[in-house]
């Protein structure tokens, strides 16, 4: 998920380019402003934490881009591309390391396990929204 502010900062192309350059495959993509209810479901595991209310307010404040990204070890790769959650700890060269100055506004969210990916994808997409496409490049990039 590309978080609010990335669209306004005109950094959507920068983020998506990094995913594409890695050779991962975008199978679904949606521009949407999430309702509070949807944010609460997305971030249910953080309910009760000090930053939870601010997080839900922020995520529901402006458009996000949700995506399904596929590839061998796609979850591990997306998390490496994103960098550490904490903006101060994210390494230069990662999306957060290069563009995030505030932990809450750390540009992207990436699912941390196959189970979370399945749950989170289900919040935004139906099976009919997910395109399995081939360009013959699998031999070289995935």
Nearer to ligand CMP among residue 61 and residue 103 (C-beta): 103
Whether residue 91 contacts residue 84, with contact meaning beta carbons closer than 8 Å, is answered with: yes
- Catalytic (active site) residue 109: yes
Whether residue 103 contacts residue 87, with contact meaning beta carbons closer than 8 Å, is answered with: yes
Nearest residue relative to ligand CMP (C-beta): 109
Minimum CB separation of residue 119 from ligand CMP in Å reads: 14
Token pair of 128 as six digits:
């009919």
Catalytic residue among 109, 111, 117, 120: 109
Contacts to ligand CMP from residues 97-136, by CB under 6 A: 103-104, 106, 109
Range list of H helices, the chain: 12-22, 36-42, 52-59, 74-82, 95-99, 114-124, 138-141
- Active-site amino acid positions: 109
Which residues contribute to the site for ligand CMP (CB under 6 A)? 46, 51, 55, 85, 103-104, 106, 109
């Amino acid at each position: 998920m590309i978080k609010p502010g990335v669209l306004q900062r005109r950094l959507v192309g920068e983020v998506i380019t990094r995913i594409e350059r890695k050779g991962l495959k975008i199978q679904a993509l949606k521009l949407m402003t999430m309702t509070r209810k949807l944010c609460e479901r997305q971030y249910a595991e953080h309910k009760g934490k000090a930053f939870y209310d601010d997080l839900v307010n922020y995520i529901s404040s402006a458009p996000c881009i949700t995506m399904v990204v596929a590839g061998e070890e796609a979850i591990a790769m997306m998390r490496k591309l994103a960098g550490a959650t904490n903006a101060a700890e994210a390494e230069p060269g990662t999306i957060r390391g290069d563009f995030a100055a505030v932990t809450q506004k750390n540009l992207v969210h990436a699912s941390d396990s196959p189970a979370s990916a399945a749950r989170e994808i289900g919040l935004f997409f139906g099976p009919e929204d997910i395109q399995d496409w081939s360009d013959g490049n699998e031999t070289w990039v995935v």
